[in-house]
Amino acid sequence: MTNPLLPVDVLVAHAEQQRKRLHNDIAELRSSLRRATDTKKLARENLPAVCGVAGVVGLILGYGFAGMFVRD
């Protein structure tokens, strides 16, 4: 696993760089995940579509519920 030709100091420096890179990647992933799951922002952006779908579903359910009490 380790290269016997490289000194220990160089290997330690490489390990430190890899840890920093991994830490930065995870921090970036966390921030992008927070942005992607921001419910308030998603609700603001998709409010017209959600209201439209809710209205159509309400009309369909209301029509079906009222149809149970109407005789033909």
pLDDT at 56: 97
The CA-atom distances, in angstroms, between 57 and each of 31, 44, 66, 67, 70 are: 35, 20, 14, 15, 20
Helix (H, G, I), strand (E, B) or coil at 64: helix
DSSP 31: H
- Model confidence over 30-58: pLDDT tens digits? 999 998 888 888 888 899 999 999 999 99
The separation between CA 45 and the C-alpha centre of its own chain, rounded to angstroms, equals 15
pTM for this predicted structure: 0.52
**CB neighbours of residue 1 within 10 Å:** 2
Q: What is the spatial distance between Cα 23 and Cα 29, in angstroms, rounded to a whole number?
A: 10
pLDDT at 18: 97
pLDDT at 5: 76
pLDDT at 24: 97
- Model confidence over 14-33: pLDDT tens digits? 999 999 999 999 999 999 99
